[in-house]
Amino acid sequence: MANSDIKIGILGAGISGLAAAYWLSKDGYDVTVLEKNNYTGGAMISHSEKGFMADLGPNSGLETSPFIRKIVESVGLGNEMIYADSAGNKRYILKNNKLYALTPNPIKFFSSGLLSFKGKLELLKEPFIGKSEDGYYQSISTFVKRRLGSDFLDYIINPFVSGVFAGNPDFLSVKSAFPKLYRLEEEYGGLIKGTIKGSKERKQRNENSKQNAKMFSFRNGMQSFPNSIADKLIKKPLLNCEIKNINYQNNSISVSSELNGKNQDFNFNILISAIPAYNASNLFKTLDDKLAEHLSQIYYPPVMVLFAAFRKKDILKKLDGFGFLIPEKERKQFLGAIWSSVIFTDRCSKDLAAFTLFIGGARQSDIFKTQNDLLINEVLAEFKSLMQIKESPVYLKSFFWEKAIPQYNIGYIEHDKQFEHFENTHPGIILSGNYRGGISVGDCINNSRTVYDKTLKYAGDYFFSL
Ligand SMILES: Cc1cc2nc3c(=O)[nH]c(=O)nc-3n(C[C@H](O)[C@H](O)[C@H](O)COP(=O)(O)OP(=O)(O)OC[C@H]3O[C@@H](n4cnc5c(N)ncnc54)[C@H](O)[C@@H]3O)c2cc1C
């Protein structure tokens, strides 16, 4: 029996599903990817029009492991991969309508005016603060306030969390959403001590921390990546194929779908689910009610992405950074803006500057009660005032994500236990996707290796059972 005799079904042609498909096809398994949309990439949508290239999902990824480059090279995208301009290292935070540069240099940071005098003193106490008793069930807010003080929480962590998760630090679990941060306290007793020791360990493991990892994209946007993986698979993903039902009996898995409007059934030896938790909840209900309940509890807040381009000559603010994030305390209608064409220069023509603004998220999910046109106008007015832009945008593209990014909120640990329990009681089915093991593109790719290892184990068990 050969690997090609083992049939593997992968649900979802987002980066999680496709990266897993890539490793497994390479080993010669018979891999079929089933995708309900008529395109590959899931959340990675790149829109090119009239000389503009707008990423409406992720704008970039962080090269946190060698796996990313490995896939990029082998799908022939090596020459298309681009790294962020060094100007992108500078990030700003808004305070009192002024943008403050966030710098890794501690002396400059302390003298920047972003934190109050009291806030700075609280930071200096961090190495002397002990572990918390709350353990797992701490929000990021509780954790950060205790260790670093409320000023740091309000003006660094609050905007940072909305930049990464579109999340709310009062609800996100520090253990589940930022496990490495939590580990610094658990293992080393403090963040500063842990950061120093942790960087030595990462070097040994040949890993990059997110702070040091290079930021990448592609000339034609992030979607080129999943599209190229899909193109290189021996069996191309089946698009317009929505999975409606899963049957699991004696290690045989059958899947019913609607393929181009017609019913179509598939049989697999191994099934990898790489669809969002809310979709998986419906599908797995017949197999495990409790799993379905846990999946349905994972919150995905709404986010609107607004890509706007202006004439450079109309912008008075100096464009020398990644963009800015807005702390909740500043009470603006949007979460922040990426200066897209500063980071990746070919997002528009040279005389223009393109920006990507984010609206809503877990902090401001109610904002969409306002009519879209009105909201966009209000956000643009605020943005233009902060950036000192005199004229209207020459190009505008908006995209609304009704369910954007899964929140690893307090209690997530119970969900994770249930996922493991389900996999143990249903050998041959693997639950994957960005609601497990990290939400970033890099995390999804790294997790595809975990999925690969689990699949090989099931494949081995399958060989022995014959
Ligand atoms: C607005 C936004 C901005 C982001 N910014 C960044 C960023 O800058 N950097 C970063 O690293 N990450 C960012 N992310 C996160 C990152 O893009 C995602 O976490 C990642 O792309 C998710 O990949 P995935 O494959 O797990 O899920 P998805 O991309 O959601 O793919 C799941 C796929 O499953 C399919 N599917 C669902 N149900 C079914 C069914 N029943 N049958 C068949 N197919 C089904 C869907 O159609 C979809 O294609 C951002 C996300 C969003 C939404």
Q: 191-215 pLDDT, tens per residue?
A: 888 887 777 776 676 665 666 789 9
Instruction: Indicate which residue's Cα is closest to atom 34 of ligand 1.
Output: 12
Instruction: Indicate which residue's Cα is closest to atom 52 of ligand 1.
Output: 57
What are the tens digits of pLDDT across the range 274-312?
999 999 999 999 999 999 999 999 999 999 999 999 999
Instruction: Indicate which residue's Cα is closest to atom 48 of ligand 1.
Output: 42
The reported pLDDT for the residue numbered 252 is 82
Give 266-291 as a DSSP string: EEESEEEE-S-HHHHHHHHTTT-HHH
C-alpha neighbours within 13 Å on the C-beta side of residue 257? 24
Mean pLDDT of the chain: 94
Residues pairing with 263 in the sheet: 258
Q: Which of 400, 405, 436 to mutate to test the pocket of ligand 1 (most atoms within 8 A of CB)?
A: 405
C-alpha neighbours within 13 Å on the C-beta side of residue 406? 26
What are the tens digits of pLDDT across the range 388-443?
999 999 999 999 999 999 999 999 999 999 999 999 999 999 999 999 999 999 99
Give 150-179 as a DSSP string: HHHIIIIIHHHHHHHHS--TTTBBHHHHSH
Helix or strand run (H / E) with residue 54: strand 52-55
CA-CA distances (angstroms) from residue 211 to 64, 89, 97, 214?
A: 9, 10, 27, 9
Ligand 1 is surrounded, with C-beta below 6 A, by: 11-17, 34-37, 42-44, 57-61, 242-243, 274-276, 279, 303, 305, 401, 404-405, 433-434, 439-442, 444
Which atom of ligand 1 approaches the CA of 305 most closely?
1
The reported pLDDT for the residue numbered 207 is 60
What the block records as the tokens of 414 is 């119970």
What are the tens digits of pLDDT across the range 245-254?
999 987 689 9
CA-CA distances (angstroms) from residue 216 to 58, 132, 276?
A: 11, 37, 24
The reported pLDDT for the residue numbered 137 is 87
Spatial CB neighbours of 133, under 8 Å, sequence gap ≥ 6: none
Instruction: Indicate which residue's Cα is closest to atom 2 of ligand 1.
Output: 57
Q: Is the pLDDT of residue 102 over 70?
A: yes
The reported pLDDT for the residue numbered 200 is 73
In angstroms, the CA 327 to CA 424 distance is: 42
CA-CA distances (angstroms) from residue 118 to 113, 122, 123, 159?
A: 12, 6, 9, 20
In angstroms, the CA 124 to CA 115 distance is: 12
Average pLDDT of the residues in 130-141: 84
The reported pLDDT for the residue numbered 223 is 98
Give me ligand 1 centre to Cα 419, in Å. Answer: 19
Average pLDDT of the residues in 330-356: 97
CA-CA distances (angstroms) from residue 278 to 106, 306, 381, 434?
A: 42, 25, 35, 12
* Domains of the chain, earliest start first: 3-44+223-299+408-465 (3.50.50.60), 83-87+301-401 (3.90.660.20), 105-210 (1.10.3110.10)
Give me ligand 1 centre to Cα 43, in Å. Answer: 3
Which atom of ligand 1 approaches the CA of 242 most closely?
42
- SS3 for 404? coil
Which amino acid, residue 247? N
pLDDT band at 378 (very low <50, low <70, confident <90, very high): very high
Can you give the pTM of this predicted structure? 0.95
The reported pLDDT for the residue numbered 24 is 97
Give me ligand 1 centre to Cα 41, in Å. Answer: 7
Average pLDDT of the residues in 379-383: 98
Instruction: Indicate which residue's Cα is closest to atom 37 of ligand 1.
Output: 275
Give me ligand 1 centre to Cα 300, in Å. Answer: 11
Average pLDDT of the residues in 336-347: 96
Give me ligand 1 centre to Cα 436, in Å. Answer: 12
Q: Is the pLDDT of residue 136 over 90?
A: no
